């Protein structure tokens, strides 16, 4: 145990935790929105994220950009990759909804069944990239780790005086990007007409449908929004880690789901709080002990918090997102 | 009784059908192999390992290598087939496979297990049945040193040697005196890192453990920043090495990066990208050179350059085939032949000591440097 | 939480085929009589109970008591806090201040199932049966509240009891085995519970459909089944939450008779009801709540004359049917 | 295929079985059990095609049967938690792991725990806790874990319980991997003891070659556990679980100690998982943390749900199919996981009530379906 290491660089570790947690939080949004409206854990959401990273790779490959391109090219390629990732992830999420959930909803199946089809979809998506595409298209698909060119190269932007904290451009993009996207989503859900529909269905589906809210459309909307957020997370992830692989979704998904529950599943701001808290807790634990205990710490934090706040830190409610 | 006449009809029909068909004969549950009588030479050799799943890329080249050896083998007397058994690297899936091979007398030898876990889980099965195993890639020390069985052999040195060789490379070749050692907490990476740590002694500055599946290494990076190492060793696999390298270089840590044979594979360069330029992979696998046509033959046969342990797979198969050439016709014969075997292999001089290990002096360690996405042999290191 | 849509469907699909009356049960039910303490003692005391939810005062200093052996009516307009009062008594809510005492013991804050074991059972305003269980099974769940067999007993059946002569099985082999080794407590309880449950179904008059799923029973049967299930837990105090809701006059007559017969078995009965006629006809004493406060208490005649009560009910003419 | 299905439906086996007199059912049951014991030697042609060792790279039939039965035990245990008590447990592999690790930690002469005991009491190097003693240890360890996990978390609502149990399963695995001094870490423990038995041909009765003996052992245990599970289902306890599943608040007011019975369900499920893990570890004679990945938990839940949660026969079928089919079709190698995923989705969409639902569940589904259709029609 090395508490000195933690406290001597607390600012640095907190920043590391926030960076890690930002991506968790963005993915957690997808879990939380779907849960808020359908009271359903979308187990395939981790793969929605995974598909986004491949879309980024696809755009970079198609454009032929690589590290060291000019600023305009970098910005253009990154934005294009962002768009592609959001579209790919949202499309995947929507497909999952159509194939795996809608038929069950029509049959009025209980939540446990949705869980299994979700897991099934997750396996299918993983195998599509790990096996099916490999057979049909060959490399880069398959069960190997694939490098994504660092189009956006990490550069030191400035140093926070007094704290000796170096801020890089990627860090700024990840943290600011995540927070901006969350605020935008939060505003959308709270202010827009479509968002009101989402909240209405989340609060009381029956009344909402009496008031003329089309539940099916709201469900489609939350899958699209959640998927798009996962797409944003996918781009930020590739900027930070430079890789993708057919099975990267699993662990991120697990963490994001934990983060969503931690903050109060169904609560948008809860996803942010949960994600950041989880990221920070993991980095602290990895610093005090080592990364092999990070996951245990994450789950212990979850259990302890749920014991004192059985519905998560901010409580669950997409309907009352202002909590 | 009328009520259930339909049931009885069904039962009766089934019974009649069953009897009729059983009269026709029973299935050959020995897997379709012929009788292994003394004058007939018709045998099978099993290869067992992760042929599918995330780790298949470390195993498949060795299977191809074995296949190549079989194709190139010339023997009019004997018929040998190579049967491939997929275990996904999972010990639980490996035991039924091992029991199957053990129970089928036409199997005279097994190539594998490819990984240490499945080998640990199956070696007593093979031992009970007297099936000779020669592993192309299982390197855990305990397999031969702590808990040896009669039938287990391997053509790769175990982690202790490898750890020592890596430490030697770090100190002697790189002149490192402050090595930062990272492992992946798994059965492969951790013991190897332990050995490296042990051999390095004071030359190790700090040790950190990470997880398989981890992509964010920020805590490890900040530990590195304060430790200021002059070299970093990582015991683990490619999937984690790639983001670790990228984050190291992003953080401005330019110390040389050295990995164990878990990183050795054709996909290493593609996974690490630019950040991995100059990274070194240590492997107890000699580069194939000289007058051997192995690399060319392999490429002609399988359409790719020989990957990890391809030469070892070839060597293992060659040992078994040599046993048949020598007139071995039973499992006992094969075991006796293999125990006494000595010969030049592609990867090294193959022979086995009483524990089933290749003699230390026959082993060569090579450092491969990642240059432009391919692993180029840099230097041989004697442990 | 139960699925509200589910219980609604129960009402919808079954109300139509409800029979107008249920044949009154006249058979002897000695086996159902329960042992109780002396009649007339205070059984339950609501001692100045106040319950707040956030800023809303659901119950304000409510104070009344129930004597053993009586039938007490609890009436009041919608939202007066009657059901809340039940919920406090059965442990669903813990009062903000004040106490609930049962047989002299404070029970406020006790868990619902413990309160049931102490001897309070209830029915629900919006029927809450176990819809996928048969009528008999529903009642058996109630009987189980008095059973001692738990997991180990059910698994290994090692706890043997010696059955009485009439409880022995008919099969001669089993009979002699039971004589030598006794019968497991589990088996005795299962058998006893089954017999008692059937008896209770007869008592409330729905034994003819004992093996039907409760969700498929007609509405009137479901109401009676709830009563049978509650009685199965052998409560000293039985609380009925609007048992006559949705009943026609003939059914109400039957119900009044049933309530009296329940009292005759030794149970004390507390009835929440809107229907003044039913309440005045069957109860010994009445407590009136309005806006979470007690506004009157006394014999049916006194209450019927009480101007406050009249005012309260005139304010809600719909409910004073 | 559909003709076969129709013929099967025409037989109405289920109705006839339940309508048949007691002795017929008993004889039928005995025949089924006898057939199950005979299975490893099944060699009559049309039926022998179910064997997994027909293709040249197949796997040993008896070993596969053993694994099938171990997973059946798991499914029956998990069914108590999911099917009977209605609690979603995504960390069941944790109990399975605890069972396997108990027998390894206490029964293997090379485990650090046994070595510590040897040193402490100056015992011989080959000494270890006898296998028979490991059984209660495994059960008690799993039971304690079940209660410690359940007591604080069972008050949580369904979905929260799912993630907490999932975390628990991971905590068990990671702890087993990280505590090198206790569990040998990632290397695992070998030399796990086998059940005692007479020596035959110079080998112990339960050896690594004769897998059918392991299968028979596991099958006997499975039958015992099924018997006990039926006893539970048709007792006060089973009624209480059903009542809790249907309306927990009403059940509590009717005197059902909901928390107690849910905790019992957890504890029972945990100990059954522990027994399955013990069998697995003992047959394997080697235990390592990676054998207990979280995916296995999902597989277990899938077995229960696909088979028909709540129906013991259903979950047995689910466990059989999900374990057996991938082994039977080994020749499809890399395509198996993909097929598995597709099958999960397709089967659940076509038969959301499971392949063999309990009658009660089947009815429930019909009702829900009608309600959903009505709701759709209204909207």
pLDDT digits (tens, 9 = 90+) for B131-178: 999 999 888 888 898 888 899 999 988 888 889 999 999 999 999 999
The answer, yes or no, to whether residue A151 has pLDDT greater than 60, is yes
Give the tens place of pLDDT for each residue, A240-273.
999 999 989 999 999 999 999 999 888 899 999 9
Task: Note which residues in 186-215 of chain D have CB less than 8 A from chain B.
Answer: 186-188, 190-191, 203, 207-209, 211
Two tokens at D202? 């110079």
Q: At what angle do helices B218-227 and B238-250 cross, to 10 degrees?
A: 50
D324 interface with A at CB cutoff 8 Å: no
User: CA–CA separation, A75 vs C214, rounded Å?
Assistant: 66
Name the one residue in this structure whose structure tokens are 């006559």: C244
Name the one residue in this structure whose structure tokens are 């490819």: B114
Domain that includes residue D261, residue range = 63-196+205-294
Two tokens at B342? 């000595």
With CB atoms and an 8 Å threshold, state whether D301 touches A307.
no
Q: Which residues of A touch B56 (CB under 8 A)?
A: 143
Total residue length of chain A: 323
With CB atoms and an 8 Å threshold, state whether D348 touches A99.
no
Distance from CA of D55 to the nearest CA of C (A): 44
Give residues with Cβ within 8 angstroms of A229, minimum separation 6.
Answer: A26, A27, A29, A30, A181, A185
In our burial notation (b when 16+ CB lie closer than 10 A, e otherwise), range D51-74 reads: bbbbebbbbbbbbbbbbbbbbbbb
Among D163, D340, D373, beta carbon nearest to A257: D163
Instruction: State the pLDDT at residue B66.
Output: 94
Give residues with Cβ within 8 angstroms of D325, minimum separation 6.
Answer: none
D302 pLDDT tier (thresholds 50, 70, 90): very high
Q: Per the CATH hierarchy, to which homologous superfamily does domain B42-157+289-352 belong? A: Response regulator (3.40.50.2300)
How is chain A split into domains, by residue range? Answer: 3-308
The answer, yes or no, to whether residue A290 has pLDDT greater than 80, is yes
User: CA–CA separation, D94 vs D202, rounded Å?
Assistant: 36
Phi-psi region of C218 (alpha: psi -120 to 50; beta: other; left: phi over 0): beta
Name chain C's partners: 3 or more CB pairs within 8 A: D
How many contacts (CB atoms, under 8 Å) link C and D? 110
- What tens-digit pLDDT sequence spans chain C (321 residues)? 444 444 333 333 333 344 444 455 555 666 778 777 777 788 999 999 999 887 788 899 999 999 999 999 998 888 788 888 888 888 888 899 999 999 888 988 888 899 999 999 999 988 999 988 999 999 999 999 988 888 888 898 888 888 888 778 888 888 888 888 888 899 889 988 999 999 999 999 999 999 888 988 999 999 999 999 999 999 999 999 999 888 899 999 999 999 999 999 999 999 998 888 888 889 999 999 888 889 989 999 888 888 888 887 765 544 443
User: CA–CA separation, D141 vs D164, rounded Å?
Assistant: 19
Distance from CA of A128 to the nearest CA of B (A): 13
Pair type for strands B179-183 and B204-209: parallel
Total residue length of chain B: 383
User: CA–CA separation, C139 vs C231, rounded Å?
Assistant: 8
User: CA–CA separation, A102 vs A113, rounded Å?
Assistant: 12
The residue of chain D nearest to residue B16, with distances taken between CA atoms, is: D46
DSSP annotation of B173 reads I
- Do B176 and B189 touch, CB atoms closer than 8 A? no
With CB atoms and an 8 Å threshold, state whether D250 touches C145.
no
- Classify the complex by whether its ipTM is higher than 0.90, answering yes or no: no
pTM of the model: 0.90
User: CA–CA separation, D91 vs D171, rounded Å?
Assistant: 9
With CB atoms and an 8 Å threshold, state whether A145 touches B246.
no
Question: What is the separation of C-alpha A259 from the centre of its chain, rounded to a whole number of angstroms?
Answer: 10
In a domain, D36, yes or no: no
How is chain C split into domains, by residue range? Answer: 36-119+235-321, 133-218
The answer, yes or no, to whether residue A279 has pLDDT greater than 60, is yes
Among A20, A146, A237, beta carbon nearest to B218: A20
- Do B56 and B87 touch, CB atoms closer than 8 A? no
Phi-psi region of B350 (alpha: psi -120 to 50; beta: other; left: phi over 0): beta
In angstroms, the Cα distances linking D43 to B21, B24, C226, D49 are: 11, 12, 57, 9
With CB atoms and an 8 Å threshold, state whether B214 touches A251.
yes
The residue of chain D nearest to residue B56, with distances taken between CA atoms, is: D334
Name the one residue in this structure whose structure tokens are 């059960």: D139
Among D160, D170, D342, beta carbon nearest to A299: D170
Distance from CA of D76 to the nearest CA of C (A): 15
With CB atoms and an 8 Å threshold, state whether D363 touches C213.
yes
Instruction: State the pLDDT at residue B7.
Output: 45
The residue of chain D nearest to residue A100, with distances taken between CA atoms, is: D345
3-state secondary structure of C66: strand
Q: At what angle do helices A10-38 and B218-227 cross, to 10 degrees?
A: 180
Q: Which residues of A touch B215 (CB under 8 A)?
A: 237, 241, 243, 248, 251-252
Distance from CA of D149 to the nearest CA of B (A): 25
Q: Which residues of D touch C92 (CB under 8 A)?
A: 249, 253
D212 interface with A at CB cutoff 8 Å: no
3-state secondary structure of A243: strand
Identify the architecture of domain A3-308 in CATH. Answer: Orthogonal Bundle (1.10)
How is chain B split into domains, by residue range? Answer: 42-157+289-352, 160-283+365-381
Q: Which residues of D touch C144 (CB under 8 A)?
A: 236, 239-240, 255-256
Two tokens at C195? 């017999």
Three-class secondary structure assignment of A161-178: CCCCEEEEHHHHHHHHHH
User: CA–CA separation, B212 vs C305, rounded Å?
Assistant: 81
Among B7, B33, B120, beta carbon nearest to D188: B120
Name the one residue in this structure whose structure tokens are 């659901």: C58
User: CA–CA separation, C259 vs C257, rounded Å?
Assistant: 5
With CB atoms and an 8 Å threshold, state whether D344 touches A116.
yes
Q: What is the DSSP string of B10-38?
A: HHHHHHHHHHHHHHH-B--TTTS-----T
With CB atoms and an 8 Å threshold, state whether A117 touches D344.
yes
* Between D94 and D47, residue with greater pLDDT: D94
Q: Which residues of B touch D209 (CB under 8 A)?
A: 99, 102-103, 125, 128-129
- Do D248 and C104 touch, CB atoms closer than 8 A? no
Identify the architecture of domain C36-119+235-321 in CATH. Answer: 3-Layer(aba) Sandwich (3.40)
Q: Which residues of B touch D286 (CB under 8 A)?
A: 91, 120-121
D355 interface with A at CB cutoff 8 Å: no
Q: Give bridge partners of residue B43 from the DSSP assignment.
A: B80
How deeply is C47 buried, as exposed, middle or buried, from its count of CB atoms within 10 A (0-12, 13-18, 19+)? Answer: middle
D51 pLDDT tier (thresholds 50, 70, 90): confident
C117 interface with D at CB cutoff 8 Å: yes
Element (H, E) at C59: strand C56-67
> Hey, which CATH number is domain B160-283+365-381, 3.40.50.20, 3.40.50.150, 3.40.190.10, 3.40.50.2300?
3.40.50.2300
Report cis status (omega within 30 of 0) of the bond before A140: yes
Instruction: State the pLDDT at residue D4.
Output: 53
With CB atoms and an 8 Å threshold, state whether D349 touches A307.
no
User: CA–CA separation, A216 vs A197, rounded Å?
Assistant: 11
A321 pLDDT tier (thresholds 50, 70, 90): very low
How many other β-carbons are positioned within 10 Å of the β-carbon of residue D229? 22
How deeply is C311 buried, as exposed, middle or buried, from its count of CB atoms within 10 A (0-12, 13-18, 19+)? Answer: exposed
User: CA–CA separation, D282 vs D273, rounded Å?
Assistant: 14
The residue of chain D nearest to residue C90, with distances taken between CA atoms, is: D253
The answer, yes or no, to whether residue A318 has pLDDT greater than 80, is no
In a domain, D166, yes or no: yes
- Do D71 and D262 touch, CB atoms closer than 8 A? no
C291: closest CA among C320, C317, C318, C315? C315
B372 pLDDT tier (thresholds 50, 70, 90): confident
User: CA–CA separation, B121 vs D46, rounded Å?
Assistant: 34
B133: closest CA among B118, D45, B217, B145? B118
Q: Which residues of D touch C9 (CB under 8 A)?
A: 367, 371
User: CA–CA separation, B251 vs B262, rounded Å?
Assistant: 24
**B107 phi and psi, to 5 degrees?**
-80, 120
With CB atoms and an 8 Å threshold, state whether B271 touches A287.
no
Q: Which residues of A touch D150 (CB under 8 A)?
A: none
With CB atoms and an 8 Å threshold, state whether A302 touches D163.
yes
With CB atoms and an 8 Å threshold, state whether D235 touches C149.
yes
With CB atoms and an 8 Å threshold, state whether B96 touches D286.
no
Instruction: State the pLDDT at residue B24.
Output: 41
With CB atoms and an 8 Å threshold, state whether C154 touches D268.
no
The alpha carbon dihedral of A35, A41, A46, A52 has a sign of negative
With CB atoms and an 8 Å threshold, state whether B117 touches D330.
no
Q: What is the DSSP string of B279-302?
A: -EEEES-PPP-TT--HHHHHHHHH
How deeply is C78 buried, as exposed, middle or buried, from its count of CB atoms within 10 A (0-12, 13-18, 19+)? Answer: exposed
D250 interface with C at CB cutoff 8 Å: yes
- Do A265 and B182 touch, CB atoms closer than 8 A? no
Instruction: State the pLDDT at residue B361.
Output: 79
D268 interface with C at CB cutoff 8 Å: yes
- Do B241 and B285 touch, CB atoms closer than 8 A? no
């Amino acid at each position: 145990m090395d508490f000195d290491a933690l406290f001597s660089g607390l600012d640095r570790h907190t920043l590391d935790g926030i960076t890690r947690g930002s991506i968790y939080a963005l993915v957690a949004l997808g879990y939380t929105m779907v849960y808020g409206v359908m009271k359903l854990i979308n187990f395939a959401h981790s793969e929605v994220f995974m598909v986004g990273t491949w879309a980024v790779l696809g755009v970079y490959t198609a454009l032929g950009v690589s590290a060291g391109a000019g600023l305009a090219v970098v910005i253009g390629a990154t934005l294009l990759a962002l768009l592609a990732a959001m579209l790919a992830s949202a499309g995947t999420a929507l497909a999952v909804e159509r194939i795996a959930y809608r038929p069950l909803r029509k049959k009025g199946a209980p939540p446990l069944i949705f869980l299994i089809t979700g897991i099934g979809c997750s396996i299918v998506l993983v195998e599509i990239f790990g096996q099916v595409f490999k057979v049909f298209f060959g490399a880069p698909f398959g069960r190997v780790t694939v490098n994504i060119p660092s189009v956006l190269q990490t550069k030191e932007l400035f140093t926070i005086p007094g704290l000796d904290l170096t801020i890089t451009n990627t860090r700024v993009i990840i943290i600011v990007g995540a927070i901006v996207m969350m605020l935008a989503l939060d505003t959308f859900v709270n202010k827009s007409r479509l968002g009101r529909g989402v909240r209405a269905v989340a609060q009381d589906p029956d009344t909402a449908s009496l008031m003329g809210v089309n539940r099916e459309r709201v469900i489609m909307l939350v899958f699209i929004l959640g998927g798009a957020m996962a797409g944003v997370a996918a781009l930020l992830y590739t900027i930070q880690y430079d890789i993708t692989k057919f099975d990267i979704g699993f662990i991120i998904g697990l963490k994001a789901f934990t983060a969503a529950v931690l903050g109060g599943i169904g609560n948008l701001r809860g996803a942010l709080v949960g994600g950041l808290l989880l990221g920070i807790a993991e980095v602290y634990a990895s610093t005090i002990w080592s990364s092999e205990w990070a996951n245990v710490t994450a789950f212990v934090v979850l259990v302890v918090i749920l014991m004192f706040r059985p519905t998560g830190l901010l409580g669950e409610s997409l309907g009352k997102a202002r909590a | 009784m009328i009520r259930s006449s339909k049931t009885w009809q069904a039962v009766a029909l089934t019974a009649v059908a069953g009897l009729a068909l059983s009269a026709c004969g029973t299935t050959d549950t020995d897997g379709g192999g012929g009788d292994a009588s003394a004058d007939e030479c018709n045998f099978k050799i099993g290869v067992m390992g992760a042929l599918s799943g995330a780790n298949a890329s470390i195993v498949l080249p060795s299977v191809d290598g074995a296949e190549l050896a079989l194709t190139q083998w010339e023997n009019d007397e004997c018929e040998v087939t190579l049967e491939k058994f997929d275990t996904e690297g999972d010990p639980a899936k490996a035991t039924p496979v091992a029991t199957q091979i053990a129970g089928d007398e036409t199997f005279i030898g097994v190539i594998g297990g490819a990984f240490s876990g499945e080998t640990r889980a199956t070696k007593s099965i093979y031992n009970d049945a007297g099936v000779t195993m020669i592993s192309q890639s299982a390197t855990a020390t305990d397999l031969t040193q702590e808990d040896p069985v009669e039938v287990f052999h391997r053509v790769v040195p175990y982690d202790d040697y490898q750890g020592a060789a890596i430490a030697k490379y770090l100190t002697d070749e790189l002149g490192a005196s402050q090595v930062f050692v990272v492992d992946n907490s798994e059965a492969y990476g951790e013991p190897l890192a332990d050995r490296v740590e042990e051999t390095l002694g004071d030359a190790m500055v700090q040790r950190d453990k990470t997880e398989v599946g981890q992509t964010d290494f920020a805590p490890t990076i900040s530990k590195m920043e304060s430790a200021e190492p002059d070299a970093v060793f990582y015991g683990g696999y490619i999937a984690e090495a790639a983001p670790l390298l990228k984050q190291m270089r992003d953080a401005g840590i330019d110390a040389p990066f050295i990995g164990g044979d878990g990183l050795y594979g054709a996909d290493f360069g593609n996974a690490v990208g630019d950040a991995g330029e100059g990274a070194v992979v240590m492997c107890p696998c000699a580069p194939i050179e000289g007058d051997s046509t192995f690399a060319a033959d392999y490429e002609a046969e399988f359409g790719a350059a020989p990957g990890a342990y391809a030469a070892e797979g070839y060597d293992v198969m060659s040992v078994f085939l040599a046993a048949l050439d020598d007139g071995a016709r039973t499992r006992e014969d094969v075991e006796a032949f293999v125990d006494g075997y000595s010969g030049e292999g592609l990867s090294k001089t193959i022979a086995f000591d009483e524990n089933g290990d290749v003699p230390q002096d026959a082993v060569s360690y090579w450092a491969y440097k990642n240059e432009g996405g391919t692993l180029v042999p840099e230097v041989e290191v004697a442990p | 939480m139960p699925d509200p849509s589910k219980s609604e469907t129960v009402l919808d699909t079954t109300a139509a085929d409800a029979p107008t009356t249920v044949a009154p049960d006249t058979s002897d039910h000695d086996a159902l009589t329960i042992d109780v303490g002396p009649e007339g003692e205070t059984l339950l005391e609501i001692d100045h109970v106040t319950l707040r939810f956030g800023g809303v005062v659901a119950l304000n200093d409510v104070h009344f008591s129930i004597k053993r052996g009586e039938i007490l009516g609890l009436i009041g307009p919608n939202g007066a806090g009657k059901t809340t009062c039940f919920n406090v008594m059965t442990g669903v809510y813990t009062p903000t201040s004040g106490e609930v005492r049962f047989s002299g013991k404070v029970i406020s804050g006790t868990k619902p199932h413990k309160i049931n074991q102490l001897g309070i059972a209830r029915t629900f305003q919006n029927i809450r049966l176990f819809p996928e269980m048969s009528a008999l099974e529903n009642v058996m769940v109630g009987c189980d509240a008095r059973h001692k067999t738990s997991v180990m007993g059910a698994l290994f059946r090692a706890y043997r009891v010696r059955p009485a002569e009439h409880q022995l099985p008919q099969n001669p082999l089993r009979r002699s085995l039971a004589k030598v080794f006794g019968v497991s407590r589990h088996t005795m309880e299962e058998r006893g519970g089954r017999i008692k449950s059937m008896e209770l179904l007869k008592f409330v008059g729905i034994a003819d459909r004992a093996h039907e799923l409760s969700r498929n029973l007609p509405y009137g049967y479901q109401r009676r089944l709830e009563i049978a299930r509650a009685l199965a837990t052998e409560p000293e105090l039985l609380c009925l939450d609007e048992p006559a809701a949705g009943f026609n006059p003939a059914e109400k007559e039957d119900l009044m008779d049933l309530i009296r017969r329940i009292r005759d078995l030794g149970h004390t009965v507390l009835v929440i009801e809107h229907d003044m006629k039913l309440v005045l006809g069957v109860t010994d004493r009445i407590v009136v709540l309005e806006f979470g406060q007690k506004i009157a208490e006394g014999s049916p005649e006194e209450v019927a004359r009480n101007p406050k009560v009249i005012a309260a009910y005139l304010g809600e003419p719909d409910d004073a049917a | 295929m559909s003709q076969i299905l129709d013929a099967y439906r025409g037989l109405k086996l289920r109705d006839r079985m339940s309508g048949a007199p007691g002795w017929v059912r008993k004889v039928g049951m005995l025949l089924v059990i006898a057939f199950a014991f005979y299975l490893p030697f099944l060699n009559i042609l049309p039926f022998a095609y179910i064997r997994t060792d027909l293709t040249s790279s197949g796997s040993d039939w008896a070993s596969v049967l053993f694994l099938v039965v171990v997973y059946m035990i798991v499914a029956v245990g998990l069914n108590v938690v999911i099917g009977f008590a209605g609690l979603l447990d995504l960390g069941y592999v944790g109990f399975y792991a605890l069972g396997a690790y108990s027998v390894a930690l206490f029964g293997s002469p090379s485990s650090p725990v046994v070595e510590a005991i040897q040193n402490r009491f100056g015992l011989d190097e080959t000494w270890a806790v006898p296998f028979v003693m490991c059984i209660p240890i495994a059960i008690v360890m799993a039971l304690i874990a079940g209660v410690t996990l359940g007591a604080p978390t069972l008050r949580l609502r369904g979905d929260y319980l799912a993630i907490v149990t999932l975390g628990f399963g991971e905590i068990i695995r990671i702890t087993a991997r990280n505590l090198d001094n206790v569990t040998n870490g990632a290397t695992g423990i070998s030399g796990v003891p086998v059940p005692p038995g007479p020596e035959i041909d110079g080998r112990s009765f339960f050896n690594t070659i004769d897998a059918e003996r392991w299968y028979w052992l596991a099958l006997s245990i499975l039958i015992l556990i099924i018997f006990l599970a039926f006893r539970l289902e048709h007792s006060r306890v089973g009624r209480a679980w059903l009542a809790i599943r249907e309306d927990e608040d009403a059940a509590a007011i009717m005197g059902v100690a909901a928390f107690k019975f849910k905790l019992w369900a957890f504890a029972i499920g945990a100990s059954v998982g522990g027994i399955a893990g013990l069998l697995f570890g003992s047959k394997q004679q080697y235990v390592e943390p990676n054998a207990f990945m979280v995916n296995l938990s999902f597989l277990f839940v899938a077995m229960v749900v696909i088979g028909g949660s709540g129906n013991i026969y259903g979950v047995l079928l689910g466990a059989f199919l999900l374990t057996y089919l991938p082994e039977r079709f080994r020749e499809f190698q890399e395509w198996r996981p993909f097929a598995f995923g597709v099958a999960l989705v397709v089967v659940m969409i076509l038969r959301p009530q499971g392949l063999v639902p309990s009658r009660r569940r089947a009815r429930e589904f019909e009702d829900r379906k009608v309600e959903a259709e009505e709701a759709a029609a209204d909207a």
